[in-house]
Structures are given as structure tokens and as C-alpha cells.
Homo-oligomer: A and B are copies of this chain.
Amino acid sequence: MSDTPFTFSIPTPSFIPTRMDNHITRRLSALRGQFRDQAAYEAMLEKEDTLIYEVYEVRRPEKAGELLSGISIIHPGKVGSEFFMTKGHFHKVLETAEIYYCLHGEGFMVMETPEGEAAVESLSPGKVLYVPPCWAHRSVCTSRQEDLVFYFIYPGNSGHDYGTIEQQGFRKLVVDGPNGIEIIDNPRWKK
């Protein structure tokens, strides 16, 4: 890992960075229990373990003062009426922020605090989202055909806590309703 300055590009239309140290792919099987419609999930998984999202990470030492960054690409699709989304997580060091710079597509960031505060912000190209310390975050792609793409940056010592969210999901769900996108309460979520 270089300790001298380095550059990389984020070329369109692929958005795959010209430098990356890790390519994570998350398929449907990695999101078991997260989608509301379990029957739709199982039926879909039986057909194919669909690729839901990808992350290209640019590695740096995982310590305070460093910044970790990369590209997330969430593909379009639904499980039942619920849009494809990331697993979502708190940071292990809870008091660390994250910045998302949206490059392509449309979607939402679903967020919440351990105290049960919830927030949902829409994402579109050229928009920056500030996720303050202590807010868990999950991105949701609501495009019909396009990927949702963003460049993310967070402090090097943040770490990830996926377990808390896996227990009962986020407080809010983003679903395709009869009259368009709906943000609804998650029936599984209990304070």
C-alpha cells in the first residue's frame, strides 16, 4: 500500500474505478431475511442467485486519520414490491460519519439511529448526502433500468456492524406502490 499520493479515475459509463483493491459482490442469498416478502424472496432465489449490488473498495490502513472510499453500484430490481438494496450497517465505531456523492441513477438512503430516529433521503446525480455519526445507512435503487452509483468516503477507523441491522432490518422500507414509490414502516421492526 503506497504512502505517497495516488490518483484514480471514475470513468463513465462503467463507474468502475481505475484503481481498486477489493471487489465485493452481494447476491440475493446474502440478503436473506431482509426483504419483507419472504415467499417472493424464496421463489426468486430458487430461480437464480441474482446479483444485487457491487462495491469497489480503495484500501487504506483502517485507522483514524485515514479515509476509506470506493464506488457502490446497486442494480435495479425488486423482491416482491421492495426495491433492491444494500445490507446496510452501523459503523462499529458508532461516532463516525460518511459522505455519499451520487454519480448515476436514482434511489434513496434509508437511515436510523440506535434510539430509533429514522430518515430517508433521495439520491440523484450531483447530490451529496451527509450521514452524521451514529446513523446506520442502507441504499436503495429505485431506477427501473439504471444502476444507482455513488462514491463513498468514511473515516479509516469506522469499521462495520452488520449484525444489528440483520436482526430486524431498518425501520423504514422503500417499496413500489400502486401509485409510485412508497416509504412505509417495516412491520418486523420493534423498538
- A135 in the interface (beta carbon within 8 A): yes
B residues near A60, Cβ cutoff 8 Å: 97, 130, 132
- A30 in the interface (beta carbon within 8 A): no
Interface membership of chain A positions 1-14, coded 1 if the CB is closer than 8 angstroms to chain B and 0 otherwise: 01111111111100
Nearest B residue to A119, CB-CB: B5
Q: Is the CB of A99 within 8 A of B153?
A: yes
Nearest B residue to A8, CB-CB: B128
Nearest B residue to A135, CB-CB: B5
A132 to B11, CA, bound (A): 23
Chain B's nearest CB lies how many Å from the CB of A65?
A: 4
Interface-central residue, A93, A122, A153, by most chain B CB under 10 Å = A153
Chain B's nearest CB lies how many Å from the CB of A64?
A: 6
Known contacts A7-B121, A132-B4: does B96 contact A65 (CB below 8 Å)? yes
- A111 in the interface (beta carbon within 8 A): yes
* Count of this chain's copies in the oligomeric assembly: 2
Q: Is the CB of B9 within 8 A of A128?
A: yes
B residues near A62, Cβ cutoff 8 Å: none
Interface-central residue, A7, A111, A129, by most chain B CB under 10 Å = A7
Interface membership of chain A positions 99-125, coded 1 if the CB is closer than 8 angstroms to chain B and 0 otherwise: 101000000010100000101011100
- A80 in the interface (beta carbon within 8 A): no
Chain B's nearest CB lies how many Å from the CB of A136?
A: 11
Q: Is the CB of A3 within 8 A of B66?
A: no
A133 to B97, CA, bound (A): 19
- A31 in the interface (beta carbon within 8 A): no
Q: Is the CB of A5 within 8 A of B132?
A: yes
Closest 9 CB pairs of A and B: A65-B95, A65-B96, A5-B119, A67-B97, A7-B129, A153-B153, A65-B133, A9-B127, A9-B126
